[in-house]
A and B are shown apart, each in its own frame.
Chain A
Amino acid sequence: MSILTFRNVSLRYPQRAGNRPGGDVPVLEGIDLQIASDELVAVIGRSGAGKTSLLNLAAGFIAPTTGTIAVDGVPIQGPGADRAVVFQDDALYPWLNARDNVAFPLKLKGVPVAARRERADKLLEKVGLAEAGDRPIWELSGGMRQRVGIARALAAEPRFLLLDEPLGALDALTRSRMQEFILRIKAESGAGTILITHSIDEALLLGTRIIVLSPNPGRLSAEIEAGFSAEVLSGASVAAVKASPLFKRMHAGLTGLIHAAPDDEVAA
């Protein structure tokens, strides 16, 4: 069991000329957050609230202005294979076929060719793309690419999975199929997961905990536990779960919370 901890984290991007005067813009402030291996924390918030910034901090792509981010008490020093990221626009390598993309983290580790090929094929099978190993990335559909991206992240055997709107670009049908898929993968891999999403439905359905990020500067304005993912995992149909009164009530509550956030941006 691993724990990813944000302690009193704030983030300011350096102000560039031409922006608002008066120093750096605070993007995140006073973030305290803990994510354990058995959790899937869904982060929702309006555009510009700082969701991607939060994820980039966890990944180690950027360093917090104040505060610390630690894995099991050890402060992180930049990105690492213990926290694998899945990007909104897949970030797969077009010069590698699907299998070699999945095998990429193994190549970095120096795993011999035959062994990493075998492992990559297993992972591809796991994400339902057993036949797609030899195919070039550009031939794959959006949903297939995201599954390759997830398989690639899993190949690194991360302790945490960081998903930045992985389903944002997919059509509704593919999206709902991928939601169940992510649930299953998460449960099997045992990696603590942060999932950023614009969709309240998605957050409720997948998250064991849902965090609302309010903008200007980004703060955690609400934190809600949800158990719908467990219901779906134990066989309940997504439609039935979504139709339940509790789901509807929580949906309405979250909608209210997001809109109640201070509104100094026009039509966010």
Chain B
Amino acid sequence: MTLSTEIATLPQQAGRERSRPARPLPVAAISTLTVAAILGLWSLASAYTLVSPVFLPSPRQVVLALYNLAVKGFVDATLAEHVGASLIRIFGALLASIAIGIPAGIAIGTSRVGRGILDPVVEFLRPLPPLAYLPLVIIWVGIGEASKITVIALSMLPSIILSTSAGVRSVSKDHVNAARSLGASKGQVLAEVVLPSAVPSILTGIRIALGAGWTTLVAAELVAASSGIGFMIQSAAQFLVTDIVIAGIVVIALIAILLEYLARQIERRLVPWASHR
């Protein structure tokens, strides 16, 4: 029976294939339409007050809130100052996790002892949600900047360590042998061959780490901070200033997209050869 229905539907399907438009709608166009539709529904919902403005301010209000944030600020700081505080934290944490993660990744990738020591640490840290150890870090390091930077750095660390060790291990055997037969010492092989081959992988790790770090940052600021974009949202929420909450969310998303874009540009500049290997 199934057989007969399949046979019956086959020609129809074939016919549909043929009548498909020559050029389907590009994905970008579909995405644009989606965004427009969401914005449209949002405007309609607030225009007809389907939802109370306390819960869902109109797009116009959010844009106004953004403007006010930028000019006047909220809870003692302008938008730029909040964003600045957040960015300082994330780049501080990035520097710290690079300073620790790259040597650790090299140790894992090049030495059995290094792998034995560090693998369990990384494997323990990796699946932990950063907010789970935030309270402990606050007990240890205090409530100040150091605790936030520590937590963000910890959340970035695994991807930097793992991408470094993967990059180090992916070095071509011929590349290493060539250097040795041209007179390279062990240290020179590491510095001149192994590390350069690992750079594309390390950069990818940094890009992933930035994403993870940004998520952790906002979460950490929601819990414990007196400045920063996450803190701004949290304070606004306490006073039910929903337009600022939404404006803050939009800013967070835009910065995340910008960071990703910047990281990709740096990758392209720094390792144009990675795509030609």
Contact = CB atoms under 8 A, between A and B. Distances in A.
Given A78-B180, A79-B180, A94-B276, A107 B192 contact: yes
A61 interface: yes
B267 to A, nearest CB: 13
B273 A94 contact: yes
A84 to B, nearest CB: 6
A83 B196 CA distance: 24
A95 B181 contact: no
Given A91-B172, A91-B174, A93-B196, A108 B183 contact: yes
Interface in B44-58: none
Nearest to B175: A91
A201 interface: no
Which DSSP category, helix, strand, loop or mixed, fits chain B's interface?
A: helix
A87 B183 contact: no
B182 A152 contact: yes
Which DSSP category, helix, strand, loop or mixed, fits chain A's interface?
A: mixed
A93 B178 CA distance: 10
B40 interface: no
B137 interface: no
B199 interface: yes
Contacts of B16: none
Interface residues of A, number: 29
Contacts of A83: 181
B271 A108 contact: no
Interface in A79-93: 79-81, 83-85, 87, 89, 91, 93
Interface in B146-170: none
B174 A138 contact: no
Interface in A123-173: 136-138, 152-153, 155-156, 162
A93 B181 contact: no
B273 A59 contact: no
A233 to B, nearest CB: 27
B178 A85 contact: yes
Given A85-B178, A91-B178, A95-B271, A105 B183 contact: yes
Contacts of B177: 59, 61, 79, 85, 87, 91
Nearest to B200: A95
22 contacts: A59-B177, A61-B180, A81-B182, A84-B181, A85-B181, A87-B177, A89-B174, A93-B175, A94-B277, A95-B199, A95-B271, A104-B182, A108-B183, A108-B188, A109-B183, A136-B273, A138-B276, A152-B178, A153-B182, A155-B182, A156-B182, A162-B181
Interface of B: 172, 174-175, 177-185, 188, 192-193, 196-197, 199, 271-273, 276-277
